[in-house]
Amino acid sequence: MKHPIGVFDSGVGGLSILRALHAELPCEDFVYVADSAHAPYGERDPDFVVERSRHIARLLVEDQPLPVKALVVACNTATAAAIHLLRSDYPGLPIIGVEPALKPALALSQTRRIGVMATRATLNSPKFLALQRSLSDRAIFVCQPCDGLADAIERHDTAKIVALCADYTGAMGVFGQQAHEIDTLVLGCTHYPFAVDHLTRLLGPAVQLVSNGTPVARQTRRVLPHLAAPCLEGTVTLQSTGDHLSLVQAAKRWL
Ligand code: DGL
């Protein structure tokens, strides 16, 4: 038995991070918790997100047969609200978070006009505002709160996903490669990579969509206290505070 890596999100979105983690660290065991009974987090107030994040972290750190050796907060909203508190709750544990990939987007954008889709709670958080401020002389960030989109992805409601993606990208302005057009779009919620096909159809293949599964997976490898010995493939254990079957179906679809 090896100590697993704990991963959590409000729901199925963190599977986009788990997919990258599993590719980067194929011999590791993972326990993934979806807090689906309380999703979405993104339109709740920060106290609620803090309380849920602490609860799920406790489940992963204290209530598994073997305690986790690292914790990945695979949720931008929970990272923004709670990662500093989780780090003080578990000072010896490596804790890795996700934040909207503004810096990687800067490296890609030619027009210096970058769209950011994220939850309302992420965009309003002091952590995100500080990140945006620190880069504000290098590009214009057009930030769009996407109420309802994570929930539609959670429910696998394709018609609603397509309609919301069209509304929100439409509200952000013109996408393209000309000056003053948005040429790069940050997917600042871990649910949104599961809408990439719809977004690409809407915006065209030239608009670059940026998410951060791979950098988070690399960072996790860097901070792990020890790697699992090379072996047969590691295991993935799925747990949900809501409907377990929906999580299993989402994992089959996306992992
Ligand atoms: N997947 C999450 C994020 O990255 C949260 C979405 C939600 O629960 O609203 O922010």
Query: Is the pLDDT score of 67 beyond 80?
Result: yes
Ligand 1 pocket list (CB less than 6 A): 9-11, 13, 39-42, 75-77, 119, 122, 150, 189-191
**Helix, strand counts (H, E) of the chain:** 11, 9
CA of 188 to the centre of ligand 1 (A): 9
Q: What is the pLDDT of residue 232?
A: 74
Give bridge partners of residue 8 from the DSSP assignment.
Answer: 33, 73
Nearest atom in ligand 1 to the alpha carbon of residue 40 is 8
Distance of CA 143 from the midpoint of ligand 1 (Å): 16
Rounded CA separation 14/30 (Å): 12
Entry pTM = 0.96
Question: Using one digit for the tens of pLDDT, what is the confidence trace for 90-102?
Answer: 999 999 999 999 9
| 126-169 pLDDT tens trace | 999 999 999 999 999 999 999 999 999 999 999 999 999 999 99
For 21-49, the pLDDT digits (tens) are 999 999 999 999 999 999 999 999 999 99
Sign of the C-alpha dihedral, residues 170, 176, 180, 184? Answer: positive
Q: Using CA positions, which residue lies closest to atom 2 of ligand 1? A: 75
Q: Which residues pair with 144 in a beta bridge?
A: 117
Is residue 9's pLDDT more than 90? yes
**CA 153–ligand 1 middle distance (angstroms):** 10
> By percentage, how much of the chain surpasses pLDDT 90?
93
CA distances from 238 to 13, 58, 148, 228, 247 (A): 13, 16, 24, 20, 7
Amino acid present at 54: R
For residues 250 and 254, give the distance between their C-alpha atoms in angstroms, rounded to a whole number: 6
pLDDT of residue 225: 75
Query: Which domains does the chain possess?
Result: 5-98+213-254 (3.40.50.1860), 102-210 (3.40.50.1860)
Q: Taking a C-beta distance cutoff of 8 angstroms, is the pair 4, 220 a contact? A: no
- What per-residue confidence (pLDDT) applies to 229? 75
d(C-alpha 222, C-alpha 228), whole Å: 13
Positions marked active-site: 75, 189
